[in-house]
Structure 1
Amino acid sequence: MDTRWLQDRLESLPPELEAEETEALRYIAEAWDEASGDGIDPRVLANAALFAAFSQLVETYGESAVISMAEGLKARVERGEFTLKRRLQ
């Protein structure tokens, strides 16, 4: 998977996104590119990334806080916050 979309997004991040978060996204983009280059299916990679992320969030904040955060994901997806290539209708 080509992660140029992520590099483009990094260049247009809002100022409130801290430098450390930007650097973290760069690391993730590099790891994604490497795994894709090694033949890892993008769906498998995405699911593994979500598992790792949610496991860390639960360890850090606890299950209740992560459940609240996850419940808010539906609205964010519906608003297109994670849609990289929008189709005009």
Structure 2
Amino acid sequence: MSTRTLFPFCASPSGLEAEQEERQIALEYLADAWNAADTDGIDTEALAHAALFAAIATLVRDYGEEAVAKLIGNIPDRISNGEYTLDRVVQ
């Protein structure tokens, strides 16, 4: 029996529930693949680098280099604000 890993998502500004649900499902697929690779002994740092490369390359293909560079430029603040901390306690 497989257990799905659930990732929390901050609500998008548009508040589109369908988009939120699709992203959650996509993260569940990625969690399954991540867990399978981890079980096979693939180093998690190598997994993270491969996932980042694939994600950024896909975004560049779909939106262009300038738009993605702007998006990536916002990530340090989002990290500092806890958006990527899975075990964060919100008060």
TM range (shorter): 0.7 to 0.9
* Counterpart in the other structure of 1:64: 66
Aligned residues: 82
Distance in 1, matches of 2:77 and 2:7, equals 24
In proportion to residue count, which structure has more helix? Answer: 1
Distance in 2, matches of 1:80 and 1:62, equals 27
Cα contact 2:60–2:68 (8 A) shared by 1:
yes
Give, as a single letter, the amino acid of the residue that structure 1 aligns with 2:77.
A
Distance in 2, matches of 1:62 and 1:8, equals 27
Q: CA RMSD in A?
A: 2.4
Distance in 1, matches of 2:7 and 2:83, equals 15
Distance in 2, matches of 1:9 and 1:56, equals 22
Give, as a single letter, the amino acid of the residue that structure 1 aligns with 2:41.
G
Q: After TM superposition, list the pairs within 5 Å mapping 1:4-83 onto structure 2.
A: 6-7=5-6, 9=8, 14=11, 16=16, 18=19, 19-83=21-85
Distance 1:55 1:8, change over 3 A: closer
Give the Å deviation of 1:8. 5.5
The DSSP-based 3-state class of the residue aligned with 1:7 is: coil
Q: Could you tell me the percent identity over the aligned residues?
A: 44
Structure 2: segments with no counterpart, 5+ residues: none
- TM-score (structure 1 length as normaliser): 0.78
- TM-score (structure 2 length as normaliser): 0.76
Distance in 2, matches of 1:20 and 1:8, equals 12
